[in-house]
Amino acid sequence: MAEQFKMAQPKEYFKKFLENDIRPDNRELGEFRPTVLNIGCVSTAEGSALVKLGNTTVMCGVKAEVAQPDADKPKDGFLVPNVELSALCSPSFRPGPPGEQAQVLSQNMADLLQTSKCINLEDLCICPGKLVWVLHIDLVCLDYDGNVMDACTLALISALKNTSLPAVTVDEDTGDIKTDPTSLSNLPVSCCPVSTSFIIFDHNVLLVDPTNEEERLATGAVTVVVEGENLVSIYKPGGSALTDDQIETCIDRAVERSREASKLIKETLYSIDR
């Protein structure tokens, strides 16, 4: 009977739970789903991480190649994030070129890297004006059940913290490039930006870490990116407006989530190094 009610009137079904300040999966309104992090899981990549946020699963791999820098920025390397939402992760996506959501997520990852400045592009310089690193950051959603933004952000930062680059030398006479895979250096990551996403239900109820089902019922959404206790950015893609108090609530929860996520990354990296 409950399943029939859910299918016939999903919004009313959801409201019945919210009246008791709980969600259909028994979470509180401000509670994240269990988060699992596996760092260094792809041996063929310079850095990698897998994040499982509830059922939402994202794999991130960092591949490095050398290239010439832009003439106006001779010491700056390049960061090229790309998010893939394939038909394998959800029947909502179709094979072919990246859809709008994947393109928006890729741009969000690029904006996060630029705004937080967690990577100094000059740290990717090999030979000024001649050679720099290009880091291709590929994020692949393996299972989509909502809030892929937060899963991608956590996977991206974890993979970057796991990235090691080989020593590179350039023969000044011949121009030959040689890499030494036995001499590796860790990629400097200066900070740990963490995103926390919310949906707005029925124009006034805030829910953190939405499932796919909850996203479909949302009247709005907002993502807050913080680094420690510092606000990095707020991304609000239309929909229901937020009051000042609601925005403050989102920022407070984002700071709390940042502590949780940063601790998880540190503990996971520590377990690898032991």
Q: Which domains does the chain have, with CATH numbers?
A: 20-273 (3.30.230.70)
pLDDT digits (tens, 9 = 90+) for 103-134: 999 999 999 999 999 999 999 999 899 899 99
- Any idea what the Cα angle at residue 153 is, between residues 151 and 156, rounded to 5°? 105
Radius of gyration over every alpha carbon of the chain, rounded to an integer in angstroms: 21
Measured CA to CA, the distance from residue 177 to residue 88 in angstroms comes to 39
50, containing H or E segment: strand 47-53
pTM for the predicted model, two decimal places: 0.93
pLDDT digits (tens, 9 = 90+) for 12-61: 888 888 888 899 899 999 999 999 999 999 999 999 999 999 999 999 99
Q: Which residues of 111-150 are buried (b: 16+ CB within 10 A; e: fewer)?
A: ebbeebebbebebbbbbeeebbbbbbbbbbbebbbbbbbb
Question: How does residue 178 score in pLDDT terms, banded at 50, 70 and 90?
Answer: confident
Q: Are 47 and 81 in contact (CB under 8 A)?
A: no
The percent helix, strand, coil of the chain (3-state, each to 5) is 30, 35, 35
pLDDT of residue 239: 86
* Total residue length of the chain: 274
Question: How does residue 237 score in pLDDT terms, banded at 50, 70 and 90?
Answer: confident
pLDDT of residue 204: 84
Contacts of 42 (CB under 8 A, 6+ apart): 48, 59, 61
Lowest mean pLDDT among 32-41, 43-52, 199-208, 215-224: 199-208
